Amino acid sequence: MDTRDYILGGSISEKINKNIDDLNKSYLNSLQNKIDLKEQIKNNNNNNNNEFLNLTMNDIYNNIINLLPNLYNDYYKEYLRISLEHKNNDKDVSENIIIRDTIKFMIFNNKNMIYVGFVLIIITFFLYIIKL
């Protein structure tokens, strides 16, 4: 070790090598973080159980255009299911109770209600534009 290395606190080549190693380590860590982030985003997209967020614009358009037939089919299926449930439990169930339960189910548990909301928003927007 010569006086220059003693004054600078070691050989210059060792410091340069250490700095290069530190830069390489930080670069590898940043690459690993980017890869981990991409994998997390990919896993979150695959684990997304929300049916509405996975739809394309074409699917949303088709569901809005076919809103009334879809609502009727869903209402009819739920009406049959609820009427069978009530009739199996009690023989003297009025039609009003079956219809009430069916409408209640349709309002709170039907996926087509999102599209009804879209249609209502579009209608109110157009009514606002024409100032009605």
What's the rounded Cα separation, in Å, for the pair 106 and 37? Answer: 40
Instruction: Report pLDDT for 130.
Output: 92
Instruction: Report pLDDT for 60.
Output: 85
Instruction: Report pLDDT for 94.
Output: 85
- Each residue's pLDDT expressed in tens, for the chain with a length of 132 residues: 566 666 666 666 666 667 777 877 888 888 788 777 777 777 766 656 677 777 788 888 898 899 999 999 999 999 999 999 888 887 778 889 889 999 999 889 888 888 899 899 999 999 999 987
List all residues 6 or more positions away from 64 whose beta carbon is below 8 Å from its beta carbon.
115, 118, 119
Domain parsing of the chain, residue ranges: 3-46, 57-129
Instruction: Report pLDDT for 45.
Output: 61
Of 74, 64, 72, residue with least CA distance to 121: 64
Instruction: Report pLDDT for 100.
Output: 92
Of 121, 117, 123, 115, residue with least CA distance to 66: 115
What's the rounded Cα separation, in Å, for the pair 131 and 15? Answer: 74
